[in-house]
Amino acid sequence: MATVYLILLTLHNINRWLVLATGVWTLIRTVPGVRSGRAFTPQDRRPVVAFTGTVHLQLILGLLLYGLLGSQGAPVFAGAPNAGFQWQHLGLGLLAAVTATVGSALSRRAASDRGKFRVATTWTAITLLLVLLLIPWWRPLLRLFTGG
Ligand code: HEM
């Protein structure tokens, strides 16, 4: 159990950086697009899809971690600064998966190119904000299969 926990925790830790990086990549492409009036191309779609994918992967890894700790009766986020942190993490994590998915779907369906840029920008910014709020920043910034 300890080994599986460390593997999942390490993947969840590292994928957090992919979530943040793909979110910033999305904004770098979509924010200028809102004003420029240029066409929304497959190159603009790529970061949106990558961002949604990394958020979904994070959700799956988180659920596996949660299930594993729960099945062992082990505490989740022991030593967190506030007692309700585990519910904040879980709730905002689920919400982030929803907002990323909604943003990707609505951006795809928007009638105009400017609309696609605007929708992708708004929902990605909301999702990134949620992610920044839910990350346990007191935990290791990079974990490589080690405890602590
Ligand atoms: C984008 C969303 C999320 C991000 C960025 C994120 C990020 C993190 C980070 C950085 C850690 C600490 C890793 C470490 O200590 O090395 C963590 C731990 C954890 N996360 Fe998430 N998480 C997200 C969503 C979720 C969701 C949706 C769940 C549950 C369904 C979840 C469950 C957990 C659990 C169980 C732990 C380990 C707690 C412990 O070791 O006591 N996470 N998360």
80-124 pLDDT, tens digit per residue, is 999 899 999 999 999 999 999 999 999 999 999 999 999 999 999
Residue closest by Cα to atom 2 of ligand 1: 93
Q: Which domain does 7 fall in, by range?
A: 2-134
pLDDT at position 1, please?
72
148 within domain boundaries: no
> Which phi-psi region, left, alpha or beta, contains residue 46 (left: φ > 0; alpha: ψ -120 to 50)?
alpha
140 within domain boundaries: no
Does the C-beta of 135 come closer than 6 Å to ligand 1? yes
108 within domain boundaries: yes
Q: Residue 21 contacts by C-beta under 8 Å, 6 or more apart in sequence?
A: none
pLDDT category at 135 given cuts 50, 70, 90 is very high
Atom of ligand 1 nearest to the CA of 15: 5
- Residue 55 CA to ligand 1 center (angstroms) comes to 11
Supply the mean pLDDT for the chain: 97
13 within domain boundaries: yes
62 within domain boundaries: yes
Question: Taking the model in full, what pTM does it have?
Answer: 0.96
> CA–CA separation, 94 vs 25, rounded Å?
22
The b-or-e profile of 4-36 (16+ CB within 10 A means b, else e) is: ebeebbbbbbebbebbbebbebbbebbbebbee
Does the C-beta of 9 come closer than 6 Å to ligand 1? yes
Please tell me the total count of domains within the chain.
1
142 within domain boundaries: no
141 within domain boundaries: no
- Residue 89 CA to ligand 1 center (angstroms) comes to 7
